[in-house]
Amino acid sequence: MAKLNADPPAQVPQHIAIIMDGNGRWARARGLPRLAGHRAGTENLRRIIEACVELGIKYLTIYAFSTENWGRSEDEVRGLMGIFDEVFNRELAELHRQGARLRHIGRLEGVRKSLREKVLKGIELTKNNSRLVLSVAFNYGGRDEIVQAIRAILEDDVRPEEVSEELVSRYLYTADIPDPDLVIRTSGEQRISNFLIWQAAYAEWVFPDTLWPDFGREQLEAAIEEFGRRERRYGLVLEH
């Protein structure tokens, strides 16, 4: 495991969420197929998880596969599912050893049985870990999450006057974890892409130009340092 830098960021957010963007462009720049970029992206994730553990970040949420990604070519979707299978086979024991607790946000319906069982096994294996909570947004969409929450609220016969922001939050996939403080989207693209659209309402956003497979600890610390320079107002005017 890599050693801590001599001067880690002074202010570390409690919860970081990452849109891992740029795998396809990384592969294309090297004359490789898109799946090679996705594979490189999953290998990079290990380094970022290790860095988060060492820096004392308590919650990490990653956007692995959106509800819209099913619209990609059949070959790419099949290849991605194969890569996810491999990642669980290879990385679950190491995640557990590092004290990470695995969570899934999104829907497992429609996911092939073998992968669904691996996700549930990983959640069960790591449920008592507390060093880092790793939430994997897989088959996830922010709008779909809110629709599912509304349906559940209606099924529970909640009266209109009882509906509040706090109540809606309790029906979301992220009900038991704090909202993200910092959202990072790699590759320089500046879009939300249907990711945590409720939870990230007051998060700080950083858009580094680095493609995800090249996004390492140095870039992570730079994003955290940028977060530390922001003044979080939550819609208020702060007095100085």
Catalytic residues: 21, 69
Spatial separation of the C-alpha atoms in residues 158 and 145, rounded to whole Å: 18
- CA distances to 24, 26, 34, 132 from 31, in Å: 11, 9, 9, 36
End-to-end CA distance of the chain: 42
Give me the helix-helix angle, 74-97 and 113-125, nearest 10°. 20
In angstroms, what is the C-alpha Rg of the chain? 18
